[in-house]
Amino acid sequence: LENDSLLCAEQTQFDTILCLSITKWIHLNFGDAGLKQAFKRMHAQLRPGGVLILEPQGWASYTKKKNLTERIYKNYHNIEFRPHNFTQYLLSTIGFCQCEVVSIPPHPSKGFQRPIHLFTKAGGPSLAITERVNDNITSDTLPSRQERMTRRDQEEIRDMERMKYEQELFPKENNNTGNMSEISQHSGDLNQYEQLANVYAPSATPNYDTPSRNSDSQPSESQPSDMPRIKEEKEENS
């Protein structure tokens, strides 16, 4: 922005603003005034209760980049607002109500092992309201959780009872267990059963000789026919 008077036109539109490893570049290109204006603009764009996640670079890293351009070199030598002053400025001047260090992420390069700060904008729900909401959520979810656990235990008990009933109803025979007398008795029973099965259900179909039925109307092929003899007698008489 050209000047800070334009900050009043900013509207609250974000719940979170992520600002990782860019404060040095804003600082070197726009000086102290440019970085402070960026902080004010971030605060103006956050909704009440919103958070700014900030990872500022250390002052030692500025030195390595001071000779990139003439403008950066000039701004570097005019900087008075050092990184260790950022937290106090954001809390006292900008208006953030709270700051906490989230973590220091591990990194192979020591220069990137920097603390990450979380700044909270004032105007969010009060702590008492938040605690009351959390208590209500806990009280609502606790009975349902207990009901689910009770229901699951009952289902497990029913499954165990069903398995036990099935085992008693259909016991598994173990051919490897039992003494020799029981095994021999079981074999004898099987042989008896096989013999009875052969008697009542023989494997081969028996062949029984049954007398053939000769029809009176049709002469048998084995008996000689009397028709030629009767014909000869009729011829002699004539």
Taking the complete model, does pTM exceed 0.75, yes or no? no
Note the maximum CA span of the chain.
169
Structurally, the chain folds into a number of domains equal to: 1
Domain annotation covers residue 85: yes
Domain annotation covers residue 201: no
With bands split at pLDDT 50, 70 and 90, how would you rate the model's confidence at 125?
A: low
Look at 22 and 126; give whichever has higher pLDDT: 22
Average pLDDT over residues 53-81: 94
Q: Look at residue 104 and tell me whether its pLDDT is greater than 70.
A: yes
Report d(CA 143, CA 140) in Å as an integer: 6
Domain annotation covers residue 182: no
pLDDT score of 173: 57
Model confidence pLDDT, tens digit, residues 142-163: 556 677 777 777 787 888 888 8
With bands split at pLDDT 50, 70 and 90, how would you rate the model's confidence at 215?
A: very low
Query: How far from chain centre, in Å, is Cα 192?
Result: 59
Domain residues for 91? 18-43+56-121
Domain annotation covers residue 190: no
Report d(CA 77, CA 66) in Å as an integer: 9
Q: What is the CATH number of the domain that holds 100?
A: 3.40.50.150
pLDDT score of 126: 47
Average pLDDT over residues 27-47: 94
Domain annotation covers residue 97: yes
Look at 88 and 184; give whichever has higher pLDDT: 88
Domain annotation covers residue 224: no
Report the range of poorest mean pLDDT among 6-15, 62-71, 122-131, 158-167: 122-131
With bands split at pLDDT 50, 70 and 90, how would you rate the model's confidence at 127?
A: very low
Domain annotation covers residue 160: no
Domain annotation covers residue 86: yes
Would you state the torsion angle of the CA atoms of residues 30, 32, 36, 38, taken in this order, to the nearest 10 degrees? 20
